[in-house]
């Protein structure tokens, strides 16, 4: 941005000094280049709240998805890690299953008749029955487990690094991985995920932002800045950050919440107002 701006400044000075048609044209040309360069930076989308629902403020949300009318949520911290089915309208817990003692629950996603879940630093994941929550299988993976979503072909996993792993939903073996970048720089701390209309949405841990990621290239095509949601302004525990994205495909509804947040929000996006650095 600096070079085009400096060039534009010089060009305008030259133009003013000489009052020559050609230099004015040059200035306009540089201005167009500057605008194009600005547009190439990652846009930052705003939001509007379409609906507000209760959320359990004791739920340390690590995974969230919506299926067939209900929310499915996983919570973290040892001894407080549960898999839950939650009623959207009042936050009532309709079904609950503790994950094995001593483990820290992380992301969840549905696949067929199952729910797949991760744990944080334990290297163990689980397959649960979607209806009964009965545990069906255990698997292992390298590195940390943060979040899961799926695109209909693969499970998509975050692990705290700038990489998204694409897993075979049956064998849970890694098929490929993509490095997530914004303006050419790697994006660390990709957290809770949701696949929405061809994009991967990812909470960035410890921020109020969600990245919109092209799953093929890993490029962040936009940010969603949720600063201003009530919980981002409250003096909650430092760990009580934005985390949790769910999408109702049938009704095109996007939900967000956070760890120990008392509310869950349905949001819509508003056009970018600023450009990120
Ligand atoms: Ca999710």
Tell how far the Cα of 72 is from the centroid of ligand 1, in angstroms: 9
Tell how far the Cα of 246 is from the centroid of ligand 1, in angstroms: 5
Q: Which residue is it, tokens 């817990």?
A: 93
Tell how far the Cα of 11 is from the centroid of ligand 1, in angstroms: 49
Kindly list the domain boundaries of the chain, sorted by start residue: 2-40, 43-275
Tell how far the Cα of 65 is from the centroid of ligand 1, in angstroms: 5
Tell how far the Cα of 184 is from the centroid of ligand 1, in angstroms: 25
The C-alpha atoms of residue 249 and residue 13 are separated, in whole angstroms, by 54
Tell how far the Cα of 55 is from the centroid of ligand 1, in angstroms: 15
Tell how far the Cα of 175 is from the centroid of ligand 1, in angstroms: 21
E-strand spans in 12-69?
A: 43-54, 61-67
pLDDT in tens, 194-226: 999 999 999 999 999 999 999 999 999 999 999
Tell how far the Cα of 140 is from the centroid of ligand 1, in angstroms: 21
pLDDT in tens, 31-62: 444 444 444 599 999 999 999 999 999 999 99
pTM across the whole model: 0.84
Q: What is the pLDDT of residue 26?
A: 42
pLDDT in tens, 56-79: 999 999 999 999 999 999 999 999
Pick the closest to residue 127 from 89, 135, 243, 199 (CA basis).
135
Pick the closest to residue 26 from 43, 9, 42, 38 (CA basis).
9
Tell how far the Cα of 148 is from the centroid of ligand 1, in angstroms: 7
For the domain 43-275, what is the CATH code?
2.120.10.30
């Amino acid at each position: 941005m600096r070079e085009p701006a400096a060039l534009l400044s010089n060009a305008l000075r030259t133009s003013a000094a000489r009052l020559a048609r050609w230099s004015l044209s040059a200035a306009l040309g540089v201005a167009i280049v500057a605008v194009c360069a600005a547009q190439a930076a990652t846009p930052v989308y705003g939001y509007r709240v379409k609906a507000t629902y209760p959320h359990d403020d004791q739920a340390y949300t690590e995974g969230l998805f919506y299926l067939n009318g209900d929310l499915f949520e996983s919570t973290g911290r040892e001894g407080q890690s549960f898999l839950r089915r939650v009623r959207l309208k009042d936050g009532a817990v309709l079904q609950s299953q503790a994950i094995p003692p001593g483990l820290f629950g992380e992301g969840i996603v549905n696949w067929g008749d199952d729910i797949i879940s991760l744990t944080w630093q334990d290297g163990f994941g689980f397959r649960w029955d979607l209806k009964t929550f009965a545990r069906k299988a255990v698997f292992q993976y390298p590195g940390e487990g943060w979040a899961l979503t799926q695109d209909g072909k693969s499970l998509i996993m975050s692990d705290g690094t700038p990489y998204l792993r694409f897993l075979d939903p049956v064998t849970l073996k890694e098929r490929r991985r993509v490095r997530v970048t914004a303006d050419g720089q790697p994006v660390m701390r990709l957290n809770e995920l949701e696949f929405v209309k061809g994009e991967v949405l990812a909470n960035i841990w410890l921020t109020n932002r969600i990245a919109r990621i092209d799953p093929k290239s890993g490029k962040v095509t936009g940010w969603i800045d949720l600063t201003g949601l009530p919980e981002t302004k409250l003096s909650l525990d430092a760990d009580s950050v934005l985390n949790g994205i769910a999408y109702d495909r049938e009704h095109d509804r996007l939900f967000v919440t956070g760890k120990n947040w008392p509310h869950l929000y349905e949001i819509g996006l508003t056009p970018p107002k600023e450009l990120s650095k």
